[in-house]
Structure 1
Amino acid sequence: MGKRFARKVGLLGMVVGLLMATVTASAAASPSLEAMVGQMLMIGFRGTTFEAKSPLGEAITEGNLGGVVLYGRDVALNKPMRNIRSAAQLQALTADLQDHARIPLFIAVDEEGGQVSRLAPRFGFPETVTAATWGRRNDPAWTRRGARAIGQRLRNLGCTINLAPVVDLNTNPDNPAIGKLERSFGANPDTVTRQAAAFIHGLHDAGILACIKHFPGHGSAYNDSHLGLTDISTTWSPKELEPYKRLVDRGLADAVMTAHVFHAGLDPKVPATLSAEIIPDILRREIGYEGVVISDDLQMGAIRQSFSLRQTVRRCLEADVDIFLFGNNLEYEPFVWRRVQRIVRDLVDQNIVSRSRIERSYERIQRLKERMDLFQGRS
């Protein structure tokens, strides 16, 4: 698995250079619109093995899919197994995925530690502690060692990016999505930043990219955006931006994941993920973040209960989101990638969205994949 993947990612730097050169060339010499949109998609799938003649196989080979996300449990089917059965099985799966991709995939997993751990003991993996445990001890060296162990495990399994750490402030311990699951390092921005930085360094030590989440802050909420609208208008505080500012300033934000939270004072119309004000104005301009923005799962209740897929795609583009995540775990739509490509094609053909907007996200994604290539080249 390692040699096959190394050969593929070893070519990525050259591929990225060639792709970047095409940006200033004519549209005819550039990647097709559909190929660029494919790189903007990260999707979940069912199965513990890869089949070339499957919806996922078509997404990778025909749709130029940019990434996949792995889950331990199938929520929609209420089954205890989805993509992970054992270490050997997962190594084979990720190797097959990469072997069929034109451009190396982001293979993502939520491996935060504690209750949010896809590599669970029932699959033969060791137990991990929660972010709250790391935060209470507040020993960056210990956190870094723990995150390095997680990163090494992910690296050995063929994963490339961890959708962690959570940098939400635990301002509401009763928050069902954050506080009650001990996903936050704490309520103090200094502690959260210190611990998150140590966690990211640990992942980097192992050659794994990190994704901080959930922007602009989910810690004060009283409900779960998986289930429906999550309004933080009266509970959110600007101090929840501090970890993002500090981690971005230190160059530790490989990627940033958005939150499907609604704040009437920041944008009175839509949740943060879809906001042309919150992400461009606060994250991009005020904080100065220029990297990849990943949406939280766009099939969560806070989005799909109020917006059609076309509305979601258009608003994500207007919000400067780079990677659209469809977990296919809350509801299952294996060909959603094809629908998104068609929607974007129509938006561009109608001059609602410019081709240059798609190229901007494509470039950011390829730059991050070039960093992934450098990580993999360490060994």
Structure 2
Amino acid sequence: MLKKVLLSVMLSLTALSAQEHALEKRIGQMFMVGFHGTEAPKGSQICKDIQRYHVGAVILFDYNPVDKNKPKNIATKKQLATLTKQLQACSEDGKLLIAVDQEGGKVQRLKSKYGFYGKFPKASDVIKMDQSKIKETYTKMSKELKSVGINYDLAPVVDLDINMKNHVIHGLGRSFGKDPKMVANYASTFIDAMHSNGVLTSIKHFPGHGSSVGDTHKGFVDVTDLWQKVELEPYRLLKDKADTVMVAHVFNKKIDAKYPASLSYKTVTKLLRWKLDYHGVVITDDLQMGAISQKYGLKNTLELAINAGVDILLIGNQLDPKKTVSTKKLVETIVSLVKSGEVTEETIDKAYKRIQNLKKKL
């Protein structure tokens, strides 16, 4: 009798642990993490995390916030191609999303000093070129990304250039202009060019960062009095074409009087999904940016973002070396949110399914 009881307890525990592992695996797919290192051999922490937690995506940077004299992830063409191969070898499905910010202009991670082309023009210069030249430029960019194993470009920017005092979009020439139709057209050319070499894209920064004055990297940015409804238009026009939409950390009382966009159910689910009819993957901007990290703790941030309807949670581990968060902590925090009922398993499942559908495009 005792043997039977013990066996039944052991089987229940095994089933529980398998269930928990399956949950961890789905949660792991929701993370895009940044890490330190120019290689990822089998025993490295990032490789172990990808294997153990089935991490869905990684983000690569060239600038190293810990030591300016050393690269963070990108040093040379050859090294980067090796790194992405190693990372894919760690993943179960060989479909790890490997992302960079490669827009052109100031925002290009693949720089000349590492042996890349590095001279892709910023959006405000692209619009001075003729259509065939634009297509050629972005196709060349996508080829270069593909050649080193990068399959996800966190671009193009579809913010409208409507505030001349805006440093982060207007000041850096990151916008294709004021007219939403034109912006959507240029973004569409960018997306097609990326797709021609199997690179996924992300239109950003929903619901519009072009009207802002502040920078969400540094802290709280309120766009309530500056934001215009027309800023939603590129998202409506591109809703069927966009692979993913990146949500900004801007605060807009007209949409949600309590939370910034990336943590807002009203913004992500009600506005983007329901009103604009977008059904693809939603990714946050880096959740360690000042606009979020100065106001919300990790647990609260993750709970709000998931319940807002976000699919991929971006933790860049880039902005503050003292605030690097381990994948273990990230996954365990969400497991505990599911166990306490603050996040439902159904919400995790929906995100997981959307991410798997995205990966089918690879």
TM-score under structure 1 normalisation?
A: 0.87
2:269 corresponds, among 252, 256, 280, to 280
Give the letter for the 2:57 counterpart: G
More moved, 156-165 vs 182-191:
182-191
Higher relative contact order (CA 8 A, sep 6+): 1
State the partner residue of 2:297: 308
Q: CA deviation at 1:291?
A: 0.6
Runs of 4+ in 1 over 6 A off after TM superposition: 26-31
Q: Within 1, Cα distance between the matches of 2:256 and 2:65?
A: 31
Give the letter for the 1:64 counterpart: H
Give the letter for the 2:253 counterpart: A
1:225 corresponds, among 216, 221, 240, to 216
Q: CA deviation at 1:55?
A: 2.5
Are the structure 2 counterparts of residues 289 and 186 from structure 1 closer, same or farther at C-alpha, using a change threshold of 3 Å?
same
Q: Within 2, Cα distance between the matches of 1:206 and 1:273?
A: 30
State the partner residue of 1:67: 57
Q: Within 2, Cα distance between the matches of 1:158 and 1:237?
A: 38
Contact 1:67 1:105 in 2 (8 A): yes
Matches within 5 A, 1:121-132: 121-126=112-117, 127-132=119-124
Q: CA deviation at 1:30?
A: 9.6
Are the structure 2 counterparts of residues 136 and 80 from structure 1 closer, same or farther at C-alpha, using a change threshold of 3 Å?
farther
Give the letter for the 1:340 counterpart: L
Matches within 5 A, 1:1-379: 32-79=22-69, 81-103=71-93, 104-126=95-117, 127-137=119-129, 139-248=130-239, 251-332=240-321, 335-372=325-362
Are the structure 2 counterparts of residues 174 and 78 from structure 1 closer, same or farther at C-alpha, using a change threshold of 3 Å?
farther
1:136 aligns to what SS in structure 2?
Answer: coil
Give the letter for the 1:352 counterpart: E
RMSD value, Cα: 1.7
Identity of aligned residues (%): 39
Give the letter for the 2:163 counterpart: N
Q: CA deviation at 1:136?
A: 3.4
Give the letter for the 2:249 counterpart: H
Q: CA deviation at 1:82?
A: 1.3
2:195 aligns to what SS in structure 1?
Answer: helix
Contact 1:140 1:194 in 2 (8 A): no
Write out per-residue CA displacement over residues 164-220 of structure 1, whole angstroms, 9 at most, x where no aligned residue: 000000111331211111111111112211110111111111211111000000011
Name which one, 1 or 2, has greater alpha-carbon Rg: 2
Write out per-residue CA displacement over residues 45-94 of structure 1, whole angstroms, 9 at most, x where no aligned residue: 11111133333122111111111101111235444621111111110000
Contact 1:50 1:57 in 2 (8 A): yes
Are the structure 2 counterparts of residues 79 and 296 from structure 1 closer, same or farther at C-alpha, using a change threshold of 3 Å?
farther
Contact 1:39 1:64 in 2 (8 A): yes
Are the structure 2 counterparts of residues 162 and 235 from structure 1 closer, same or farther at C-alpha, using a change threshold of 3 Å?
same
Give the letter for the 2:31 counterpart: L
State the aligned residue count: 344
Contact 1:132 1:185 in 2 (8 A): yes
Contact 1:111 1:164 in 2 (8 A): yes
